């Protein structure tokens, strides 16, 4: 069963919301509906995030828009006083309801000064077991040869690589890895292969969530790992290149963020310790890596508030106050 889609106009906030039961075909249909809704207005696709919260036998989809784009698309068409009131109400409600625990911000944000294509795919020129290797470069034995699309719809080679040292579990079609940043969560990454007819198993975030086999595999992993939330980032929300309009930026090789609450993260460490397939040395290594990754994801709710307050609300308030002042002057005159 799939619920009715709620949109930003109805909710007076920057979200599309819809929920589904956990049958894979329903999850595919729900994904299609919410992506279709955001694609109606192409401006909104420049930056957004899709989160899916699992509770009991339901999945709650929330598509969060970039707050500035939400204001420009949905609120500018209203009178200024109304648009400022809606935005201010959103900010106030968030600040009143976000608990102290959720108020924690990750210790840093990655800022890219050049395009991902130029900076992200630098690998060590030596083999991993090269005896004279004297560097801390990334090493990978798996690189995606699939065809990806750039921002201006040209084809390019994906070149996404799997960092060997970050892999915890290898599945037939996926890798499960810990993150480079010290964030409490894992990555669920499509595993590149050598099948050219299948585009080397290349997916981006949009194509993957429309694939029923993906949801079947993900639900199996949820039973095993007990994560409570997954997220997909799109556009500059993914690339973090907020000031870049580089037409050569390409769609990322799919990677799903698997997010855990405090209890789930502790249980995951215990599960790794009890995995009979792991050597004691590997368990100690992975546990040390996970212990160092104990910060929650940066809180999107708080970042939304800050962006609205910085980029849109001051100008709206000034304009509204000026209009009220002019009306008062006319009445006085």
SS (H, E, C) the chain: CECCCECHHHHCCCEEEEEEECCHHHHHHHHHHHHHHHHCCHHHHHEEEEEEEEECCEEEEEEEECHHHHHHHHHCCCCHHHHHHHHHHHHHHHHHHCCCHHHCCCCCCCCCCCCHHHHCCCCCCCCCCCCCCCCCCCCCCEECCCEEEECCCCEEECCCEECHHHEEEECCCEEEEECCCCECEEEEEECCCCCHHHHHHCCCHHHHCCCHHHHHHHHHHHHHHCCCEEEEEEEHHHHCCCCCCCCCCECCCCEEEEECCHHHHHHHHHHHHCCCCCCHHHHHHHHHHHHCCCECCCCHHHHHHHHHHHHCHHHHHHHHHHHHHHHHHHHHC
308 or 98, higher pLDDT: 308
Domains of the chain, by residue range, sit at 142-298
Tens of pLDDT, residues 231-277: 998 887 665 544 445 554 555 667 899 999 889 999 999 999 999 99
Whether pLDDT at 207 is above 80: yes
Mean pLDDT to the nearest integer, 275-282:
92
Among 1-5, 44-48, 218-222, name the one with the lowest average pLDDT. Answer: 44-48
Tens of pLDDT, residues 60-73: 999 999 999 999 99
151 or 277, higher pLDDT: 277
Tens of pLDDT, residues 102-150: 444 444 444 434 433 433 445 566 555 554 555 666 667 777 777 777 7
Average pLDDT, the chain: 80
Indicate the CATH number of 142-298 among 1.20.1070, 3.30.428, 3.10.20, 3.30.70: 3.30.428
Whether pLDDT at 327 is above 90: no
């Amino acid at each position: 069963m799939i619920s009715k889609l709620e949109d930003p106009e109805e909710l007076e906030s920057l979200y599309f919301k819809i929920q589904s039961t956990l049958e894979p075909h329903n999850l595919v249909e729900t994904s299609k509906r919410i992506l279709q809704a955001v694609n109606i207005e192409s401006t909104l696709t420049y930056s957004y995030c899709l989160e899916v919260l699992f509770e009991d036998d339901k999945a709650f989809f929330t598509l969060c828009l970039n707050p500035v784009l939400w204001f420009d698309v949905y609120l500018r068409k209203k009178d200024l006083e109304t648009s400022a009131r809606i935005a201010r109400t959103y900010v106030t409600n968030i600040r009143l309801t976000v608990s102290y625990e959720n108020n924690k911000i990750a210790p840093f944000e990655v800022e890219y000064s050049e395009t991902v294509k130029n900076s992200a795919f630098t690998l060590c020129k030596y083999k991993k077991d090269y005896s004279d290797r004297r560097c801390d470069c990334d090493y990978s034995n798996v690189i995606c040869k699939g065809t990806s699309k750039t921002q201006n719809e040209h084809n390019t080679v994906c070149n996404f690589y799997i960092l060997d040292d970050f892999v915890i579990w290898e599945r037939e079609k996926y890798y499960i890895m810990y993150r480079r940043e010290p964030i409490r969560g894992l990555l669920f990454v499509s595993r590149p292969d050598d099948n050219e007819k299948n585009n080397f198993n290349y997916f981006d975030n949009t194509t993957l969530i429309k694939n029923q086999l993906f949801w079947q595999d993900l639900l199996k992993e949820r039973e095993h790992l007990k994560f409570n939330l997954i997220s997909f980032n799109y556009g500059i929300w993914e690339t973090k290149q907020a000031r870049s309009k580089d037409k050569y930026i390409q769609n990322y090789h799919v990677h799903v963020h698997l997010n855990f609450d405090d209890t789930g993260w502790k249980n995951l460490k215990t599960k790794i310790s009890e995995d009979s397939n792991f050597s004691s040395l590997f368990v100690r290594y992975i546990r040390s890596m996970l212990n160092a990754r104990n910060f929650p994801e940066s809180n999107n709710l708080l970042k939304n508030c800050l962006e609205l307050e910085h980029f849109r609300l001051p100008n709206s308030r000034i304009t509204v106050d000026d209009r009220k002042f002019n009306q008062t002057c006319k009445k006085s005159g």
